[in-house]
Structure 1
Amino acid sequence: MNPTTAIRKVYQGVADRRQMFRMFDRHAQRPSRGEDDPSTLYAGEWFEIGRVEYEYMLEILPPLWMRCDMFALREFLAGSVTSVFFELSIDGRVRYFHGYCDLSDGTSPVHMREAIVDRETRPVKAMTRAERLEHIWSATNDDYRGYASARWSEQYRGKRTLLYYGGRQGAVLKLLDQLTDAEIAAKLPVHLRYLPDVIAA
């Protein structure tokens, strides 16, 4: 299922309310849902939202805690992982973000904030291959993405898949992490397609 706890950007651009709610549980289709602890799958994921979405989430429930530029949701996603929302001044402009932090580590919201600021203040606009794949996964409709089932070789089972239109071949089910550079470019919106791939996340 590609578990990881690294802090990582999973969507390029500002998510609207519909996209924000989709990404709150973007691993909902995993085959082990209900049987596993998804904490490491979600912890570290972050994306940008708008001010309206930030304020909506602030007002929906009393926060678990609030600090000068962040607040945590009272409801936990899994284990000690919950949503933390950030209001950050970046290059003289106030921007808003959502991230999943594991609060068993009390410093995780601070590390998340530092990672977001570091990523968003880089002088060259670029995307890593991993960021491109995460954006594709986040932006793809649930009907066109899933997980490798028992029909796949054992080494691939549980890995993320998506339908890719292969021209004359029609739609082909492919492993997300095995998309070629050309296939990745074809799945990205035009404004992201030609960004350089030179900066590590």
Structure 2
Amino acid sequence: MTSPIRKIYFGVTDRHQMFRLFDRHAQRPNRWQSDDSALYAGEWFEIARAEHDYMLEILPPLWMRGEMFAMREFLTGSITSVFYTLRINEVTRFFHAYCDLSDPRSCHDMRDAIVERERRPVKQMTRAERIEHIWSATHDRYRGYAGVDFSPEHRGKRTVMVYGTSGSSFQLLDHLTETQIAEKLPVHLRHLPLAEAA
């Protein structure tokens, strides 16, 4: 099963944010007991040049090809970090992505998807992108996975803390209302036009 290519954070991450996003699924139930490649494959976000260069210098890369290099250490299965230096709309920018190296097209498809997404003249976010940004930006204390308090068909799904008139509680991430999504997004992202999913 191929995981969709998806932007998981809006903005340029600093080093702390970058390392948090490397394993934003760390709290998942039964970690390491199954192949979680599909959780990571296809995820990407923008980084600063300093972070790109830092990652290049940590270890010799597995390979370097033009505007990209792959990390030698695999996250899970055949999934590893690939870092890109891309010229988009006359600006050089830097990105991290998780690619499945068992697919020889994976890194090129990822590059093309990033360029296509970032070339849009008007900033927009799909509902899925809003949801992914909320998950990425929420502190571990305020996000988790549905447990015994949820019906069996929802257990193991992602949850976030929501606040209401009767207090706070965890709610399924994918079930957030548009109002709750707006409340959880940073101010500069709340009023971006809603894009149709590709």
Distance 1:4 1:194, change over 3 A: farther
Instruction: Note the 1:115-194 alignment, pairs <5 A.
Output: 115-166=113-164, 168-194=165-191
Q: Which residue of 1 aligns with 2:73?
A: 75
**Does the aligned pair in 2 maintain the 1:125–1:195 contact within 8 Å?**
yes
**Does the aligned pair in 2 maintain the 1:161–1:174 contact within 8 Å?**
yes
TM-score, normalised via structure 2 length: 0.98
SS in 2 for 1:5: coil
What is the alpha-carbon distance in structure 1 between the residues aligned to residue 149 and residue 30 of structure 2?
A: 16
Paired AA for residue 183 in structure 2: A
Instruction: Note the 1:4-19 alignment, pairs <5 A.
Output: 5-19=3-17
What is the alpha-carbon distance in structure 2 between the residues aligned to residue 157 and residue 68 of structure 1?
A: 43
Paired AA for residue 197 in structure 2: A
What is the alpha-carbon distance in structure 2 between the residues aligned to residue 171 and residue 159 of structure 1?
A: 18
Q: How high is the sequence identity, in percent, across the aligned residues?
A: 65
Provide the aligned C-alpha RMSD in A. 1.1
Q: Which residue of 2 aligns with 1:56?
A: 54
SS in 2 for 1:11: strand
Q: How many residues align?
A: 198
Q: Following TM superposition, by how much is the alpha carbon of 1:4 offset from its aligned partner in structure 2, in angstroms?
A: 6.6
What is the alpha-carbon distance in structure 2 between the residues aligned to residue 70 and residue 172 of structure 1?
A: 42
Q: Which residue of 1 aligns with 2:41?
A: 43
2:176 corresponds to 1:197: no
**Does the aligned pair in 2 maintain the 1:127–1:196 contact within 8 Å?**
yes
Bigger drift between 28-37 and 127-136 goes to: 28-37
Q: 5+ residue gaps in structure 1?
A: none
